[in-house]
Structure 1
Amino acid sequence: MLDVHEHITDAVKTPALVRLAPNVVLIRFETLKVYAALGALRHLLDTGAIRPGQTVVDSSSGIYALALAMACHRYGLRCHIVASTTVDDATRAQLEILGATVDQMPPSDDLRLDQNRRVARVRELLAREPGLHWMRQYHDPVHHLGYAELAELLRHALPGARLAVVGSVGTGASTGGLIRALRRHDPGVRLVGVQPFGSVTFGSERFTDPDAIIAGIGSAIPFDNVHHDLYDQVHWLDFQHAMAATVALVRDHAVFAGLSTGAAHLVASWEARNTPDRTHLVIGADTGHRYTQRVFTRHREALDPTGLAPLVISDLGDLAMPWSTMEWARRGVRVPAQERRRKDAVL
């Protein structure tokens, strides 16, 4: 039965569940972060932290910006986005039509510099306009709240299944919010995190992957919304491996999705072979449109994912490109002092 939605965000946040293999199910979104934006704004409005008509501001590499602008449209709020250099023309145009004002960073191949510039710009705006509310998607736990609704949908769609969630770590909000809600009913649900090489989040910052699109998948600075003790397993992939699986999703399943979805699909396929008694849920955070030039027009270069497998390691000192995996076992992590100082300097 079809529902008539009162706002587009209700339609956009509803995922499509697609079975990719007997024990692999894709949770496909147009933009996953609508859950984070809606949940955060509802809570902030309900608690009086913000009021209708107020302007919220945040930094984004793309899909959160669009989700926040749509949520602001729904709740009668103004929106200001400090956009990464990676935000494409189509996304920027949508933001502007939705009424958001956009500051976009200049072109840069250094994504740490891009992140630092964005946060510095947010600070400038806050100093100039104290009435702005900084959403802090990377650090405010309010962004975990909306995923409880998604967890309920999945529990009803897959009753009784032994679940493993596989998704890119990114800000930590989607995997963290979802797994916490699922574990309230079943503490045994596994969480498998996917990282690019070069991200500080799980200790691969010493590596360089020239083609990697780190924005939205990893990070150049520590994020407070990443709770390392939620993750059972971590996989690190290079761009070529993620691209191979992203192209294969279209070829094998007609699913046009983003790079993080392809990476999670490759990881889930390997995990599913090793733990066939679980249903592996692949988080498909967005569509493939913003990866057209970097990934899909290069489809003839893509590796055959059927021949790819990770190096299984037991210590971060053994981490190696192009694909490694390690049992994380829900342990925490101590952020090195120099990284903590760097994060504090840009927050």
Structure 2
Amino acid sequence: MPTSPEASTPPVAPADGRPSAAAPPAAPRPLIHAHITDAIKAPDLVRLGPGIVLARFETLKVYAALGAVRSLLERGVIRPGQTLVDSSSGIYALALAMACHRHGLRCHIVASTTVDLTTRVQLEILGATIDQMPPSEDLRLDQNRRVERVRELVAARPDTHWMRQYHDAVHHAGYREFAELVAAAWPEEELTVVGSVGTGSSTGGLVAPLRQRGLDVRLVGVQPFGSVTFGSERFQDPEAIIAGIGSAIPFDNVRHRLYDALHWVDFRHAMAGAVGLVRAHAVFAGLSTGAAHLAALWESARRPERTHLVIGADTGHRYAERAFARHREAPDPRTLKPHQITELSDLRPPWSTMEWGRRPSVPRATG
């Protein structure tokens, strides 16, 4: 039987009888992926300092889209050739288009006004069709328009399947694979996960299975001002372009009871965190990652005994012009401090933090 290329064989002695040097070990065979989604879904883990590690993704939501599509296909809810439709501010759109490309499905995206040209042309080349909302400074108006348009499409084309990334719990399932990676990396350590809340699927889908394993996991969520998810809707951030971390409408996939603490961060503070990542670590990541990085710096200083895992959802390319081009304006994130509050009525920009304590819902603010 022939041996594999990696199989070791004893060295052959030279003809003069002198011992030969051992052959160098064979290099490991490189892994060849069946599809690009397998190559980009797993994160790169980067040490940012004592007690802080970044899980840096090219696009985090590949886990959510692949897991959801596979589950729906296996259950017979959808079938190859069918059209999947959903609303997105960017990275879920690309992840869903790639999952559809892999599994022989059609894709239609109702895109936020924040979706940039680079993302749009990728979607078009992948075969996705797109409805993009007109420019708007009002997050609530943008999201309401998108949901209304999706409803119109589903009503007019009954064969389409609405993925409902904001509400269908199937999007939590894909992150179990990420949870397995995290559990293997830190099987016994006290772990704090710091990530943007957004739809709730990534942080919830990661932390719930880790806690089910009995691991000590603290969850810190990051929100923008103006989001209804954790009660900051009475504020407006005139510069807010942080896609995908908050919401102007309630999301069923957010499990409030999973969160131990919250940080509300404005655009300028998120920019400081993102620019700081490039300056200190050469990591070019999006504004949601910058906001999580900022929160993790503060959290780790208060709890140095814990390992803080920062979720870096995407790269910084779509923010290059509107945020990173202003890098000279960004202060050192290590010089910034949040306003610590105990009630939502005390919430205020530009950066506030609160121990949420795994409350099951948002209490009504009195201020």
Corresponding residue to 2:147 among 119, 127, 135: 119
Q: Is the 8 A contact 2:218 2:260 kept in 1?
A: yes
Equivalent position of 2:162 in the other structure: 134
Which amino acid counterpart does residue 284 of structure 1 have in structure 2? Answer: G
**Offset, 1:136:** 0.4
Corresponding residue to 1:179 among 207, 210, 213: 207
Which amino acid counterpart does residue 15 of structure 1 have in structure 2? Answer: P
Q: Does 1:146 align with 2:177?
A: no
Equivalent position of 1:287 in the other structure: 315
Q: Does 1:201 align with 2:201?
A: no
Which amino acid counterpart does residue 294 of structure 2 have in structure 1? Answer: L
Equivalent position of 1:80 in the other structure: 108
Q: Does 1:218 align with 2:237?
A: no
Q: Is the 8 A contact 2:242 2:267 kept in 1?
A: no
User: In 2 relative to 1, CA 214–257 (structure 1 residues): closer, same or farther, beyond 3 Å?
Assistant: closer
Cα distance in 1 for residues equivalent to 2:155 and 2:174: 29
Q: Does 1:16 align with 2:48?
A: no
Write out per-residue CA displacement over residues 93-152 of structure 1, whole angstroms, 9 at most, x where no aligned residue.
Answer: 000100100111111111111111111111111111001000000000000000000010
| 153-162 or 4-13, larger mean C-alpha shift | 153-162
Cα distance in 1 for residues equivalent to 2:191 and 2:363: 30
Cα distance in 1 for residues equivalent to 2:75 and 2:279: 47
SS in 1 for 2:223: strand
Equivalent position of 1:318 in the other structure: 346
Which amino acid counterpart does residue 35 of structure 1 have in structure 2? Answer: Y
Q: Does 1:298 align with 2:294?
A: no
Alignment of 1:152-191 (within 5 A): 152-191=180-219
Corresponding residue to 1:243 among 257, 271, 280: 271
Q: Is the 8 A contact 1:85 1:114 kept in 2?
A: yes
**Offset, 1:22:** 1.5
Alignment of 1:243-262 (within 5 A): 243-262=271-290
Which consecutive segments of 4 or more residues in structure 1 shift more than 6 A? none
**Offset, 1:305:** 1.2
**Offset, 1:3:** 1.4
Identity %: 73
Q: Is the 8 A contact 2:172 2:201 kept in 1?
A: yes
Corresponding residue to 2:59 among 31, 35, 39: 31
SS in 1 for 2:121: helix
Equivalent position of 2:4 in the other structure: none
Q: Is the 8 A contact 1:166 1:268 kept in 2?
A: yes
Which amino acid counterpart does residue 42 of structure 1 have in structure 2? Answer: R
Equivalent position of 1:344 in the other structure: none
Corresponding residue to 1:233 among 226, 244, 261: 261
Cα distance in 2 for residues equivalent to 1:122 and 1:322: 34
User: In 2 relative to 1, CA 295–334 (structure 1 residues): closer, same or farther, beyond 3 Å?
Assistant: closer
SS in 2 for 1:35: helix
SS in 2 for 1:102: strand
Q: Greater share of helix residues, 1 or 2? A: 1
Equivalent position of 1:56 in the other structure: 84
Cα distance in 2 for residues equivalent to 1:14 and 1:317: 39
Equivalent position of 1:339 in the other structure: none
**Offset, 1:187:** 4.8
Cα distance in 2 for residues equivalent to 1:229 and 1:139: 16
User: In 2 relative to 1, CA 29–329 (structure 1 residues): closer, same or farther, beyond 3 Å?
Assistant: same
Cα distance in 1 for residues equivalent to 2:172 and 2:270: 26
Q: Is the 8 A contact 2:112 2:132 kept in 1?
A: yes
Q: Is the 8 A contact 2:230 2:362 kept in 1?
A: no
Q: What TM-score do the two structures reach when normalised by structure 1?
A: 0.95
**Offset, 1:335:** 7.8
Equivalent position of 1:89 in the other structure: 117
Cα distance in 2 for residues equivalent to 1:112 and 1:335: 21
**Offset, 1:246:** 0.4
Equivalent position of 2:296 in the other structure: 268
Cα distance in 2 for residues equivalent to 1:321 and 1:103: 33
Q: Is the 8 A contact 1:199 1:214 kept in 2?
A: no
Q: Is the 8 A contact 2:297 2:334 kept in 1?
A: no
Structure 2 unpaired stretches of 5+: 1-27
Cα distance in 2 for residues equivalent to 1:262 and 1:152: 25
Equivalent position of 1:41 in the other structure: 69
Greater Rg over alpha carbons, structure:
2
